[in-house]
A and B are shown apart, each in its own frame.
Chain A
Amino acid sequence: MGVGGHKHHYNDSNIEKEMKSIGDADPLAKLKELCSQDHACEHFKHRLQECTNRVNSKPWTKETCNEELLDFLHCVDECMAMAATRFLIRTATASRNPVFRLMSARTQATSAAPVTGTATDMLFTFASPSEVFYTQAKNVRQVDVPTMSGNMGILAHHVPILGVLKPGVVSVFETDGNTKRFFVSSGSIAVHPDSSVQLLAEEATAVENLDSTAAHDALSDAQRRLGAAKDDKQKAEAQIEIECAEAAIKAASGVFQ
Chain B
Amino acid sequence: MSFVVKAVGILQQPATGVLLWNNTSVRNMATLKDISRRLKSVKSIQKITKSMKMVSAAKYAKAERELRAARSYGLSAKAFYDNLEVEKSDTPQKQVLIAATSDRGLCGAANSSIIKSIRTQLNEEKQNLEGTKVVAIGDKSRAGLARTHSANILLSVNEVGKRSVVFCDAAAIAQQLISSGFEFDSAEIVYNKFKSAIAYTTSRQKVLSNDTIAASKSIQVYDSTDADVLRSFQEYNLASVLYYTMKENATSEQSSRMTAMDNATKNAGELINKLTTYYNRTRQSVITTELIEIISGAAALEQKQ
**Chain A contacts to B: CB under 8 angstroms:** 90, 93-94, 101, 125, 127-132, 135, 148-149, 159-164, 186-188, 190, 192-193, 198, 200, 202
Contact B69 A131 (CB under 8 A): yes
A135-B232 Cα distance, complex, nearest whole Å? 24
Q: Answer whether A163 and B221 are a contact pair too, CB < 8 Å, given A125-B76, A127-B72, A129-B240.
A: no
Q: A93 and B224: CB pair below 8 A?
A: yes
Asked whether A149 and B222 contact (CB < 8 A) given A129-B167, A162-B229, A164-B229, the answer is no
Tell me the bound Cα distance from A74 to B279 in angstroms: 97
Give the most central of A94, A101, A148, A200: most B CB within 10 Å.
A200
B79 within 8 A of partner (CB)? yes
Instruction: Determine if B73 and A161 form an interchain contact, defined as CB atoms under 8 angstroms apart.
Output: no
Within 8 A of A (CB), among B39-94: 66, 69-70, 72-73, 76-77, 79-80, 83
Are the C-beta atoms of B225 and A161 separated by less than 8 Å? yes
A163 and B233 contacting across the interface, CB-CB below 8 Å: yes
13 contacts between A and B (CB under 8 A): A125-B76, A127-B69, A130-B69, A132-B69, A132-B73, A149-B229, A161-B223, A164-B233, A164-B236, A190-B76, A190-B233, A192-B83, A193-B221
Which of A132, A163, A190 has a CB less than 8 Å from the CB of B72? A132
Cβ-closest chain A residue relative to B219: A162
In the assembled complex, the CB of B187 is this many whole angstroms from the nearest CB of chain A, namely 18
The answer on a CB contact under 8 Å between A94 and B224 is yes
A190 / chain B contacts, CB cutoff of 8 Å: 76, 80, 233
Query: Contacting A130 at CB < 8 Å: which of B66, B77, B83?
Result: B66
Q: How far is the CB of A1 from chain B (nearest CB, A)?
A: 36
Known interface pairs A125-B76, A162-B233; A149-B224 also in contact (CB < 8 Å): yes
> B76, A198: Cβ atoms under 8 Å?
yes
B contact face: mostly helix, strand, loop, or mixed: helix
9 extra A-B contacts, CB within 8 A, seeds A129-B70, A164-B232, A198-B80: A127-B73, A128-B73, A129-B240, A130-B167, A162-B233, A164-B229, A188-B232, A188-B233, A190-B80
CA distance A159 to B77 in the complex (A): 19
| Contact yes or no, A162 B243, CB < 8 A | no
Q: Are B224 and A161 in contact (CB under 8 A)?
A: yes
Interface flag for B146 (CB, 8 Å) = no
A143 to B79, CA, bound (A): 21
Interface size of B by CB at 8 A reads 25
Interface residue from A90, A131, A198 paired with B79 (Cβ < 8 Å) = A198
Residues of B within 8 Å of A160, CB to CB, are 221-223
| Complex interface: chain A residues within 8 A of B243 (CB) | 129
A79 to chain B, nearest CB (A): 20
Residue of A nearest to B236 (CB): A188
Check: B295 CB closer than 8 A to any chain A CB. Answer: no
- B215 / chain A contacts, CB cutoff of 8 Å: none
Task: List residues of chain B with CB within 8 A of the CB of A148.
Answer: 229, 232
User: B230 contacts the other chain (Cβ, under 8 Å)?
Assistant: yes
Encode contact with A along B197-220: 1 for CB under 8 Å, 0 otherwise: 000000000000000000000000
A200 contacts B77, CB within 8 Å? yes
Q: Which residues of A contact B221 (CB under 8 A)?
A: 160, 193
A-contact bits for B230-242, CB 8 A (1 contact / 0 none): 1011001100100
How many angstroms from the CA of A135 to the CA of B69 in the assembled complex? 10
Min CB–CB distance A121 → chain B (angstroms): 17
Chain A hits for B80, CB < 8 A: 190, 198
Residues of A within 8 A of B77 (CB): 200
Write the nearest CB–CB distance from B13 to chain A, whole angstroms: 56
Give the complex CA separation of A149 and B167 in angstroms. Answer: 25
Among the listed B76, B222, B225, B232, which residue makes an inter-chain contact with A200, where contact means beta carbons less than 8 Å apart? B76
Q: Which residues of A contact B73 (CB under 8 A)?
A: 127-129, 132, 200
Find the residue from A90, A101, A162 having the highest chain B CB count within 10 A: A162
- B66, B73, B167 — which one has the most chain A CB atoms within 10 A of its CB? B73
- Name the distance in Å between B280's Cβ and chain A's nearest Cβ: 56
How far does the alpha carbon of A25 sit from the alpha carbon of B252 in the complex, in Å?
59
A218 → chain B, closest Cβ, in Å?
Answer: 17
Q: Are A90 and B223 interface neighbours, CB within 8 A? A: yes
B175 to chain A, nearest CB (A): 12
Residues of B within 8 A of A193 (CB): 221
- Residues of B within 8 Å of A135, CB to CB, are 72
Residues of A within 8 A of B236 (CB): 164, 186-188, 200, 202
Please name the residue on chain B nearest to A94 by beta carbon.
B224
Which of B72, B229, B243 has the most chain A CB atoms closer than 10 A to its own CB?
A: B72
Please indicate the chain B residues that have their CB under 8 angstroms from the CB of A187 in the complex: 236
Q: Give the distance in Å from the alpha carbon of A93 to the alpha carbon of B229 in the complex.
A: 15
Contacts of B69 in A (CB 8 A): 127, 129-132
